[in-house]
C-alpha cells in the first residue's frame, strides 16, 4: 500500500484524543494519524495557527464540533496544505447572542470553582437521549472534560466565541470534503450540516442514524466507514 498523507484529527469542546479512539484503530492502515491539542489558545485563529505550526506540510483534516470550527479556521489560513476536509457534527455559523451568553455563564461557573458540573450540563446535548444511562459513554465524556481542565475549557470557550461566520468561504473550498452529522444531534443539528454541504462544491453529506453529537463514539462503525471512503 502506498504511503498516504497524514490524517490530523481535531477534537471538540471538552474532548480529548479519546474522542477518536475508535477511528485511530480503524483508520491507521490508511494514513498516519495525529490528534491536535486545542487547549492552549483563546482565539480561534491562534488555535489554528498553533496546530498548523505542528502539522505536516500537507495532510487530511477532520474536526468534530469545535474541531470543525478550528478546521475551517485552518482552511482560511492555509488551504493549500489541506488535501481533504471532514467536518463532523459542526456548524459554519458564528455564535448567536444566546450561545455567547451561555458560554459566558459557563466561564463564570468555571471561574467560581464549578467546572465539575459542566459535563452533566452538557450531556443532554452531547449524548443521544437513549444513551443517557450508558455509564461507559457518559463516563468517557466526564473523563475527557477532566483531561481538558478548567483553564483549558475557558480558553476553548473564548476561542469558540471569537470565530467568524465561515459560510462566505465555503464556496472557495476545493478539496474533497465530507460533512457528517448524527440525525439526533441537538448541539449542531442536521440542518447546519446540510447548509455546509450545500455551500462546498462536491461535498458529500452523511447523516448517521440513531446518533447524537459525539458521532465518533456513539456510532463508530458508520463514522469509520464514511471516513475510510473519504480517505480513499
Could you list the pLDDT tens digit for every one of the 232 residues in the chain?
445 899 999 999 999 999 999 999 999 999 999 999 999 999 999 999 999 999 999 999 999 999 999 999 999 999 999 999 999 999 999 999 999 999 999 999 999 999 999 999 999 999 999 999 999 999 999 999 999 999 999 999 999 999 999 999 999 999 999 999 999 999 999 999 999 999 999 999 999 999 999 999 999 999 999 999 999 8
Residue 190 in any domain: the answer is yes
- Give the residue from 229, 173, 180, 227 showing the smallest Cα distance to 201: 173
Q: Are residues 226 and 180 in contact, defined by beta-carbon separation less than 8 angstroms?
A: yes
Q: Is residue 45 part of a domain?
A: yes
Looking up residue 209, the CATH number of its domain turns out to be: 3.40.50.1820
Q: What ranges make up the beta strands (E) of 105-215?
A: 177-182, 204-208
Pick from 128, 131, 159, 126: which is nearest to 142 by CA? 126
Domain that holds residue 43: 7-95+157-231
pLDDT of residue 3: 53
Query: In whole angstroms, what is the distance from residue 204 CA to residue 222 CA?
Result: 14
**42 found inside a domain:** yes
Q: How many domains does the chain have?
A: 1
Say if 122 falls within a structural domain.
Answer: no
Whether 111 maps to a domain, the answer reads: no
> Does 84 reside within a domain?
yes
Q: How far does the chain reach from its first CA to its final CA, in angstroms?
A: 12
The pLDDT score that the predictor gives to residue 83 is 98
pLDDT at 2: 47
CA 53 to chain centre: 19
Is residue 100 assigned to a domain?
no
| pLDDT the model gives residue 207 | 98
Per-residue confidence (pLDDT) for residue 111, from 0 to 100? 97
Cell triple for 17? 484524543
Q: Which of 76, 73, 71, 49 is nearest to 60 (CA)?
A: 71
Query: Has residue 165 been placed in a domain?
Result: yes
Cell of residue 21, nine digits = 479512539
Amino acid at each position: 500500500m502506498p504511503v498516504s498523507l497524514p490524517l490530523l484529527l481535531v477534537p471538540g469542546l471538552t474532548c480529548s484524543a479519546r474522542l477518536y479512539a475508535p477511528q485511530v484503530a480503524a483508520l491507521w492502515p490508511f494514513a498516519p494519524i495525529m490528534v491536535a491539542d486545542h487547549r492552549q489558545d483563546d482565539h480561534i485563529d491562534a488555535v489554528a495557527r498553533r496546530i498548523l505550526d505542528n502539522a505536516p506540510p500537507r495532510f487530511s483534516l477532520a474536526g468534530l464540533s469545535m474541531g470543525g470550527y478550528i478546521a475551517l479556521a485552518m482552511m482560511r489560513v492555509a488551504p493549500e496544505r489541506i488535501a481533504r476536509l471532514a467536518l463532523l457534527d459542526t456548524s459554519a455559523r458564528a455564535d448567536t447572542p444566546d450561545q455567547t451568553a451561555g458560554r459566558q455563564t459557563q466561564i463564570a461557573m468555571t471561574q467560581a470553582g464549578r467546572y465539575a458540573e459542566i459535563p452533566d450540563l452538557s450531556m443532554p446535548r452531547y449524548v443521544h437521549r437513549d444513551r443517557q444511562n450508558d455509564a461507559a459513554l457518559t463516563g468517557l465524556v466526564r473523563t475527557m472534560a477532566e483531561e481538558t481542565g478548567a483553564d483549558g475549557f475557558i480558553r476553548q470557550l473564548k476561542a469558540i466565541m471569537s470565530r467568524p461566520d465561515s459560510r462566505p468561504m465555503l464556496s472557495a473550498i476545493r478539496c474533497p470534503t465530507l460533512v457528517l452529522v448524527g440525525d439526533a444531534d441537538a448541539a449542531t443539528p442536521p440542518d447546519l450540516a446540510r447548509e455546509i454541504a450545500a455551500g462546498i462544491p462536491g461535498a458529500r453529506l452523511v447523516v448517521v442514524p440513531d446518533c447524537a453529537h459525539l458521532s465518533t463514539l456513539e456510532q463508530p462503525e458508520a463514522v469509520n466507514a464514511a471516513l475510510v471512503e473519504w480517505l480513499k
